[in-house]
Structure 1
């Protein structure tokens, strides 16, 4: 049996497992609240692993190792920024968002939370947020499909469209029928698979090169700055170096506004679960990022010592090392981990798009539907977005990384400040939120399409600042005092106070 046959068998097992999990979730879904938020019953470990898998995508297994292999440890600043951002998100957003979304008329989507939290009777804020979600996520899902098509093309020589159709079809089926629970449970399995692969590959690679001393020597021989996190600080302007680090680490700002991640917080069993979720989620993230970084660094020395083994694309260093060191069946499971990273993100985004279509646009228009009809509409929403994303992905020359970076900046810049202000500032108004969100999104779009600006500073930074400043200034200039907002804000803080008191009592 050939190596590729073994690998395809492993991938087939993985695909069937995902479909099986989707079927289990389908049997447990009865109404729209189940379909969109799993009935707010997620265990913190499930929420943490799901958020991590939905977050990282193929960047963790291919993009990050490739960047470090090509340029050295300096490229790890993006992982540092993301880890800090994820920790802050779990610490300061998760418990409050879980409490507030339930207090505020049981909001189950980010757009509906903005509207209900700010009592926006015009519905403009909710509609604008939904449109931003649909636009950015349709392209985001498309980028995942493009990555899947390229994966099968480069790994097995398949036709690009065939690989795209396979991954899109499997992801669509388990997401469309399993909904949020299906996406979440498959995310957990995918997150564990990614974790196992990213921990195992670098450990085996270190032994293969003769231990840590040989690995470090090989790295320094090829690139003296391979292990220098501060490479380039003495070259040129120190200010430009600092700007470069800030721009790279600023990816962490995006976490506060990513709908497919923070909806996991809304689905927790209670605000108290955020603490355990944070520990599990950040632990997973730190170990997987370290595994990706170690894989790239060891790979530098390994391929230098074995010139007969060709590495044409730095982003394939993780895949190639796994194929060299493991039995083809095991290597196939490692390849499945890459698919897991791609599919977990796609499924989470499809559910968010579906909720924007059904909960925030269809129901907002005054349509009357039964719970079963709403679930069916949710599934149709997933199908519609997936078809549009598939059509966009038929062009294999589509830029995956640029689309991902742009969408991440769009959500982080437009939604991030509003989420924080909604949770921590009583005086935020609907007008301020709408003005900030729209101008922040426009800033990201304009800045990201001007080469001289985007090459200097990642567009999420100006977008985030514009949204924050405009939202605060407009709210101050046109204040609104609504007793219902005051009451709900106080109720949210009181619930969090009880949670903290219970935690302290449990520690005594």
Structure 2
């Protein structure tokens, strides 16, 4: 590994360690709510931060955990390779997240507290008054299935980044990334993740905006460099479709991804943990500003990459990496590229904790040991933090699928299984537990099997 890169990587991990241990010290030296037992309080604190996270941390954590490593790899890479047609996906994501903040966040925060629910599965069971436990069981299994694939996408991206940038073996890279995530998640739980994600989210957006702004000045003929190369390579720089079939295809892309927001547990859990439901609007404003800056900058990276690298890169998903290495000194480049690590960790950590909560609350406490103490379920949660990502590690180890493929599969699966059920739970009193279960099973099963059909249509449609 390049010594400058090694220094940057070590410094970044050191900062994360300082944040984690500072939080751990603060948590263990603040007064405990005497209305609850020590272990009950510890469980609430670990799994959902005792619903005490501020609007700034909630906003940045929600959006940074949403974007994942795909923000630095898959998205700029697809723009570099195919042009601005991928902006339709961005439009869908932006509208979808805004609608999720507006119509889901506040109601979900209020209702999950009312039912004392830590997970979507627990909320569904309480809301639909399902005495059989089937809706909780199936929702828990779907959540685990798709989250395991989602976590593996982050590990794949992390391994590729550490291999291509820092010269680290791919398999050692994913193992180190996994160990870091597990460690700071085990130490502090939900609140620790929120504060680490706040730092990492701000770091990410600063770096991803800096690179295209600086990179554009290195284009010999400015915008003409991009348009000339794009014409030679037949890359469209227009967001307007040339045919009706293209328009339909782009709309399906936007709608398919945008609708997925309503069913993403790793995003929705941030809404559940905010301190004051009335601050949701403020958090929405902060989060949407973050997302607009990040997405516009990423589109710019892809476009500038067309002009900067006229000879196609070996791996189009590494256009951001190639640009940083070309523009900056090794030490500064190392710090900037740590933003890719941040993008991976902000998604993986939340998904790991959400999955572990599903294991402890929805499977262990609900079906295996209903009389389990808070101390016991907290132990199972921490055990889940180790076991669930280990399964993801096995998928990532084979390196058989791209980051985009894994993210798409998991995103569409979670959106199809949970999105409709979340909406009817919040807005309809006519849907019964049986109907909700059928919708969830059909949606989740179709999404799980959809890639085998090779239709080219997003499963969310």
The two structures have a TM-score, normalised by structure 1, of 0.84
Q: 1:52 maps to which residue?
A: 63
* 1:245 and 2:228 correspond: no
What CA deviation, in whole Å up to 9, does each residue of 1:418-448 have, x standing for no partner? 1111111111211111111001112212322
Alignment map for 1:315-334 (pairs within 5 Å)? 315-334=317-336
Q: Is the 8 A contact 1:94 1:265 kept in 2?
A: yes
- Give the whole-Å Cα distance in 2 for the aligned partners of 1:38 and 1:218: 52
How many correspondences in the alignment?
446
Deviation at 1:269, TM superposition (A): 1.3
- Give the whole-Å Cα distance in 1 for the aligned partners of 2:232 and 2:283: 40
Q: Please, what is the CA RMSD of the aligned residues?
A: 1.9
Greater CA drift, 414-423 or 182-191:
182-191
- Give the whole-Å Cα distance in 2 for the aligned partners of 1:334 and 1:226: 29
Q: Is the 8 A contact 1:219 1:298 kept in 2?
A: no
Q: 1:181 maps to which residue?
A: 191
Instruction: Say which of 276, 284, 303 aligns to 1:278.
Output: 284
Q: 1:356 maps to which residue?
A: 358
Q: 1:43 maps to which residue?
A: 54
* 1:140 and 2:150 correspond: yes
* 1:256 and 2:256 correspond: no
Q: 1:501 maps to which residue?
A: none
Q: 1:13 maps to which residue?
A: 11
- Cα 1:61–1:372 change in 2 (3 A) is same
Aligned with 1:279: secondary structure? helix
- Give the whole-Å Cα distance in 2 for the aligned partners of 1:186 and 1:171: 11
Deviation at 1:311, TM superposition (A): 2.8
Alignment map for 1:423-462 (pairs within 5 Å)? 423-451=426-454, 453=455, 455=456, 457-461=457-461
* 1:390 and 2:396 correspond: no
Aligned with 2:436: secondary structure? helix
* 1:195 and 2:205 correspond: yes
What CA deviation, in whole Å up to 9, does each residue of 1:255-312 have, x standing for no partner? 00000000111111122111011111111111100000011111211223xx6xx732
Aligned with 1:460: secondary structure? coil
Larger Rg: 1
- Give the whole-Å Cα distance in 2 for the aligned partners of 1:312 and 1:257: 35
Deviation at 1:344, TM superposition (A): 1.1
Deviation at 1:26, TM superposition (A): 3.7
What CA deviation, in whole Å up to 9, does each residue of 1:459-490 have, x standing for no partner? 121xxxxxxxxxxxxxxxxxxxxxxxxxxxxx
Q: 2:83 maps to which residue?
A: 72
What CA deviation, in whole Å up to 9, does each residue of 1:107-152 have, x standing for no partner? 1211001011111111111111111111111222122222222222
Aligned with 2:117: secondary structure? coil
- Cα 1:367–1:246 change in 2 (3 A) is same
- Give the whole-Å Cα distance in 2 for the aligned partners of 1:326 and 1:214: 23
Deviation at 1:212, TM superposition (A): 4.6
* 1:83 and 2:86 correspond: no
- Give the whole-Å Cα distance in 2 for the aligned partners of 1:71 and 1:56: 20
Instruction: Say which of 308, 313, 323 aligns to 1:302.
Output: 308
Q: 2:38 maps to which residue?
A: none
Q: Is the 8 A contact 2:74 2:403 kept in 1?
A: no
Q: Is the 8 A contact 2:67 2:343 kept in 1?
A: yes
**Of the two structures, which has the highest relative contact order with CA contacts closer than 8 Å and spacing of 6 or more?**
2
Aligned with 1:119: secondary structure? coil
Deviation at 1:187, TM superposition (A): 1.3
- Give the whole-Å Cα distance in 2 for the aligned partners of 1:381 and 1:313: 35
- Give the whole-Å Cα distance in 2 for the aligned partners of 1:169 and 1:34: 22
Q: 2:216 maps to which residue?
A: 206
Deviation at 1:87, TM superposition (A): 0.4
- Cα 1:303–1:387 change in 2 (3 A) is closer
Greater CA drift, 217-226 or 441-450:
217-226
Unaligned 5+ residue runs, structure 1?
462-508
- Give the whole-Å Cα distance in 2 for the aligned partners of 1:375 and 1:20: 24
- Give the whole-Å Cα distance in 1 for the aligned partners of 2:199 and 2:124: 32
- Give the whole-Å Cα distance in 2 for the aligned partners of 1:145 and 1:59: 11
Q: 1:110 maps to which residue?
A: 120
Q: Is the 8 A contact 1:31 1:374 kept in 2?
A: no
Aligned with 2:217: secondary structure? helix
* 1:416 and 2:414 correspond: no
Deviation at 1:191, TM superposition (A): 0.9
- Give the whole-Å Cα distance in 2 for the aligned partners of 1:377 and 1:25: 22
